[in-house]
A and B are shown apart, each in its own frame.
Chain A
Amino acid sequence: MIVNRTEKVVGRVVLILVLIVTLIPLVNMLSAALQPADTNPTGLTFPTDPQWINFVTAFNTGNVWRLMGSSLFIVIFVVPISLVFATLAGYALGNLRVRGGRFIFIFLILGLTIPFEALIIPLYYEIQALGVLNTQWAVILPLIGLYMPFSVVWMRAHFIGVPPELSEAARVDGATTFQEFRRIQLPLARPALSALAILLFLWTWNQFLLPVVLIADPLNRTVAGALTFFQGQYYSSIPLLNAGALIIIVPTIVIFVIFQRQFIAALLQGAVKG
């Protein structure tokens, strides 16, 4: 690649500026969170006497353990169930090439662009009729359905890429469909599955609309949905609100930094396939 000096310098400077703009709102939260809880802080000022105790206060008054537990409960059901359903369907549509599979596929694609907002009103009454309003199930059940179009399309794309000779070889050796699926297809699908798992985890953990509408008690919501509860509770204390919000986003950031290569790859692929 031919790149001259000026371009290199300009590139660096622009990049650093963008990085600063990206980070400022987050750093600004931290600087506010460390100010004395009963003051009204001004802008981005580094605290002279950092009040780390604010995080403890926000953690306790915000019931963060309960919130994390509730989020985890929702994720633990939504992600594995979606993965299993999507893998089975993706295998049927991508590898078995069932008659009528094209119809199923187009039927699912129709659901890809429906915004959740368009379904939220009828979903509320459906969930009410099911008798699970205000429980975590009110979010778990719809999310599995709502993520299904994307998840199936994703897994189908993977299974279509697997050479059919592999299945044929397995069948010639006398393997049943189930054996072939478990011994040959599943191990091959692992990268596609883990990327999908990352995406589903993020979307569920950060899901806001459904918990806000379908679960009245913020403590039973996802952590993202509970942020509104923080806003209400710490209306008068900007430091505590920011401390609370930071506590809630830090776990995802930590997980992201650890698995960042997988996260970025998953998000990029997710964007392209979505």
Chain B
Amino acid sequence: MTTSIAPRRAAARAAARRRILRGWLFSLPALIAYCGFVIYPLILGIQYSFYKWNGVGPSEWVGLANYIRVFTDETLLASIGNAFVLIAFFTIIPVASGLVLATLIRSMKPGPFSSLSQTILFLPQIIPLAAAGIAWSWMYAQTGAVNQLLNAVGLGFLARPWLGDFQTALPAVGLIGSWVLTGLCTVLFLTGIGKIDQSLYEAVRLDGASWWREFVTITIPGLRQEIAVLVTITIIAALSSFDIIYTTTLGGPGRATLVPGISIYRIGFTQSDVGLASAFGIVLMVIVLACVLPIQRLARANDR
């Protein structure tokens, strides 16, 4: 150790500076891509939302008029309402049935059957949602399998073209979402249950607790992390659904299955009202944030 301390410090400082520079350099490509195709369009969208513009001609400043229309136009409000109805099918049904299914099948021993069933439960996650839409529009058709089944069990009077009926179109579309998401929920809960301390289960069993008590006092608290995650993902999926609706009903009949994604698409590209479509996009983003942030908060508060 012949070097004095001062030059070493300077060298260390230079090294630290170089490290910071290198860190920013490393982050640069990601930041450029992100700013270019997320932040820039976001700012552009906010700008558009204050104008009336048909996409080609001159644009006109209209202030908050587009936002006022989003919250007063009946059709647009209906599409927001439909998105919230879809939460029942995309979130509540898959998460609830996933919980029940996972508890019911957790007794299964690992083996070829359990891994085969995992594979099958995951299939709807792998195929494009658009393909799920095509498969189900055929299931729901007048001559499709759903009506065939109803006829077979003597409920033929219920048969109808499910996606063409004002009463049933939205639930029918929603159930496609349940079909897609239940497998994901079940498998994620199964892995979650595996992590719960098994002695807890044995303890309540010895106390003679019922299945329900065990479910409420051990399984649900043990899975709250997974529940928070799945509720977040599925709510985002419900509020921003597009693919399934596009390939099944395009929002019809009437506006029975109209959702924000389809509305934005139609207003922006079919009706060429770029300002209104952009404003609706911003509103959709805020709605998603407003639904997702409290769940994150809640989940984090629970952890403490």
Contacts and interface: CB of A to CB of B under 8 A. Distances in A.
Task: State the majority secondary structure of interface residues on A.
Answer: helix
Given A92-B23, A122-B44, A113 B130 contact: no
B104 A14 contact: yes
A11 B278 contact: no
Contacts of A108: 30, 34
Given A2-B202, A119-B38, A86 B45 contact: no
Nearest to A99: B20
B162 to A, nearest CB: 13
A118 B107 contact: no
A93 interface: yes
Chain B interface size, as a band, is 35 or more
Given A28-B135, A122-B42, A257-B119, A117 B147 contact: no
Contacts of B44: 122, 125-126
A84 interface: yes
B34 A43 contact: no
B134 A209 contact: no
A264 interface: yes
A85 B30 contact: yes
B145 A209 contact: no
Contact of A177 (B19, B136, B144): B19
B191 interface: yes
22 contacts: A10-B104, A15-B108, A15-B117, A18-B182, A22-B183, A23-B123, A24-B139, A25-B139, A43-B143, A43-B144, A43-B147, A117-B242, A117-B284, A118-B264, A118-B288, A151-B30, A152-B30, A202-B126, A223-B128, A241-B138, A271-B230, A272-B229
Interface of B: 19-20, 22-27, 29-31, 33-42, 44-45, 48, 55, 101, 104-108, 117-132, 134-136, 138-139, 141, 143-145, 147-149, 179, 182-184, 186-188, 191, 198, 201-202, 205, 211, 226, 229-230, 233, 236, 239-240, 242-243, 246-247, 260-261, 264-265, 268-269, 274, 277-278, 281-282, 284-285, 288-289, 292
